[in-house]
Amino acid sequence: MPEQPAIEATGLEKAYGEVRVLRGVDLQVARGSVFSLLGPNGAGKTTTVRILTTLLPADAGRALVAGYDVREQRSLVRRSISLTGQDTAIDELQTGEENLRMMGRLCRLPRRRAAARATELLDQFDLTESGSRRVGTYSGGMRRRLDLAASLIVRPEVLFLDEPTTGLDPRSRQQVWEVVTDLTRSGVTIFLTTQYLEEADRLADQIAVVDGGRIVAQGTAAQLKQQVAGHRLDLVAADRRAFDALTGHLGARVVAPVPERLTFSVATDGTANHVRAVLDEIDPARRAVARFTVHSATLDDVFLALTGHTTTQQEKETAGV
């Protein structure tokens, strides 16, 4: 018998009044893996997390987390998971160590075990030297690491990370990534929502792209990129007249045109022969194209091709969806 997925959701729907936030979301997450839900603000990522963590009921559909039904077996689900949201949930008036000891006691650990676990986590998250300081003196990166440590007082089967590195500097983000990698090696399943393309590309075994409350694509980072193209040819037109002529010639093959900057892109396999062929096709007189560059397709290219906009485009969120 195949191993039961850590998370399995079918037909999840959710609406706030007339606004349909989720429109039939299906997900399956393997145990001991990192699964990333990628999408812009308002796409439905946080609503999905809230349903899977029993904080919000779905209007329709069914979901199992750690083998338990999120609607019928809420208490069992909650014993099996941990959630780190977009905002830290720690007491700034206490020290880092006091926060972790308190969380240990709330998780019903004996006093000595709670103290020992706090010491272990401070060391794991590189917070030992600052453990005796009030959290109010911590940097943003230190607070995020402490918040992650608090969510691991009792090791969960599934850890939900809802945009855990938003606002962090590159060094702090790298430290969080290292922690996530270590956790999956120990068998913890990670459900990660993020707007950072590099984060999903770096960490996730499987990625689902959500837009408008629907899953529009799913697979490994490499598989998703292959749906668009192995590489992309970025071009800058010599002037607006050349831009109009070039994009008009390419038609539906044009990706991400920006008339104000005279830039646009087209898919390519990355070989010199194909790049030459494209340039010869669209600019045989060698006057219309001012500059060009070739690079590998990114997850942003995937999202752009599938939805018509990038994951960094800011959209108004409805009820924190």
pLDDT at 309: 55
Q: Which residue has the higher pLDDT, 72 or 217?
A: 72
Helix (H) or strand (E) segment spanning residue 98: helix 96-106
% of the chain with per-residue pLDDT over 70: 89
Tell me the whole-structure pTM to 2 decimals: 0.74
Local confidence band at 312 (pLDDT 50, 70, 90 cut-offs): very low
pLDDT at 243: 96
Local confidence band at 221 (pLDDT 50, 70, 90 cut-offs): confident
Average pLDDT, the chain: 86
Asked whether 185 and 29 are in contact (CB, 8 A), the reply is: no
Domain extents for the chain?
7-218, 230-296
Local confidence band at 1 (pLDDT 50, 70, 90 cut-offs): very low
Show the tokens assigned to 300.
């942003």
Given a cut of 80, whether residue 86 has pLDDT beyond it is: no
Asked whether 37 and 210 are in contact (CB, 8 A), the reply is: yes
Residues 118-146 pLDDT 10s: 999 999 888 899 999 999 998 888 888 88
- Judged by average pLDDT, the poorest of 4-13, 128-137, 195-204 is 195-204
Given a cut of 80, whether residue 88 has pLDDT beyond it is: no
Show the tokens assigned to 145.
């690491």
Distances (CA, A) of 195 to 56, 200, 298, 309: 22, 8, 13, 13
Distance CA 178, CA 212 (A): 31
Distance CA 56, CA 40 (A): 21
Write the single-letter amino acid at 9: A
Residues 156-193 pLDDT 10s: 999 999 888 877 778 878 888 888 888 888 889 999 98
Per CATH, the number for 7-218 is 3.40.50.300
Would you say domain 230-296 falls under CATH 3.50.90.10?
A: no
Write the single-letter amino acid at 158: V
Q: 170: exposed, middle or buried (C-beta count within 10 Å: 0-12, 13-18, 19+)? A: exposed
pLDDT at 310: 52
Given a cut of 60, whether residue 89 has pLDDT beyond it is: yes
Nearest in space to 168 (alpha carbons), one of 184, 152, 145, 149 = 145
